[in-house]
Amino acid sequence: MVPGGVQGHRIDHRPPLRTPAGEVQRIGQACCASVRVMQKWEYATVPLLVHVTKQILDTWGEDGWELVTVVPGANAEQLVAYLKRPLAQS
């Protein structure tokens, strides 16, 4: 016998799952009308020169790339940008 319960049953103290509309989701019930496929990304690392950083990033941005982060490069005059963009769904 489980303390505070019936044999073979557990008391679940977690808050109920909620749908995006805020309704309580029942066990075994799908929360969404459609299943989303996880977005896949492609990545690029780009050396940036300090005196033309904006122009380099603008050029990549026009091609659909999104800046993720910039880190120091091999020397004080260089930075490295990490970019991503969605892969086309096949």
pLDDT at 2: 47
pLDDT tens sequence across 19-32: 777 777 666 555 55
Q: Is 61 helix (H, G, I), strand (E, B) or coil?
A: helix
Whole-structure pTM value: 0.57
Average pLDDT of the chain?
80
Judge contact between 78 and 48, C-beta under 8 A: yes
pLDDT beyond 70 at 65 = yes
Region 58-80: mean pLDDT is 93
* pLDDT (0 to 100) of residue 86: 95
SS3 (DSSP) at 55: helix
